[in-house]
Structure 1
Amino acid sequence: MKNLLRIVCGVGFLLAGIAHFTRSRGFEAIVPGFLPFKKAIVAISGVIEIMYGFALLLNRGTSFVTKTLPGFLAAVFLANVYMAVKRIPLGNKQLPPWVLWGRLPLQWLLIKGAKKIDS
């Protein structure tokens, strides 16, 4: 079960990290307006997610991932709150408010679940 969780999370982070570069405008849109250097923030967070994805898939550095992932997810939580408050579309699709707000607790479940990934 632990290996399955590690692989699913690894694929998820790898795909999300790649999306930071292939769909950067969408990610830049959810960076709160008061933060400067939106492109850099999106690129840096994308690289971090790609590194997490590879680390988990290769089963290397998982203890580093599990120790740093909660802080990373807490940092990007602000973007998800901003997305919900401003009703920013996901790509070109406008999600209903209940979906935008309902996905926020899922991030906290990921933070809590990060401890279970370490092998």
Structure 2
Amino acid sequence: MTMMTDQEAYALTHHDGHFRLVMPYAFIGLEHPVHRHVYLPLNRNYRPLGCPRQFGAGLDDIYDYLSQAWVFRRDPTTFTGIWWNSGECFLHLYDDSAESRKDYLNRYAKLLTKVASYRPTAL
């Protein structure tokens, strides 16, 4: 894959388009009784994927969306070349800068190779 231009990267998440709603912006770790490294992907509005800002689904009821969580083979905080400006609570794939989105798809593809399951209940 090649990197996007500045214009393509800017357009990717401009306004409240489809990309901002359904593609992972950040991941938050969840406690799970069986599995380690369980993380819920969040959209740009810090809601579970597909949930617009105006619907409830905030961080208070995040465990209602456990079926959307991803289980990683190892601790994702140790992954290199994937995260962008991640903090203590969230692992971010991009931010509001066009620069962070230029290689988003490359980093996202790399992240997908590290997933053990897309549903903790399936393991």
Check whether TM > 0.5. no
Q: With structure 1 as the length reference, what TM-score do the two structures score?
A: 0.38
Structure with greater helix share of residues? 1
Structure with greater strand share of residues? 2
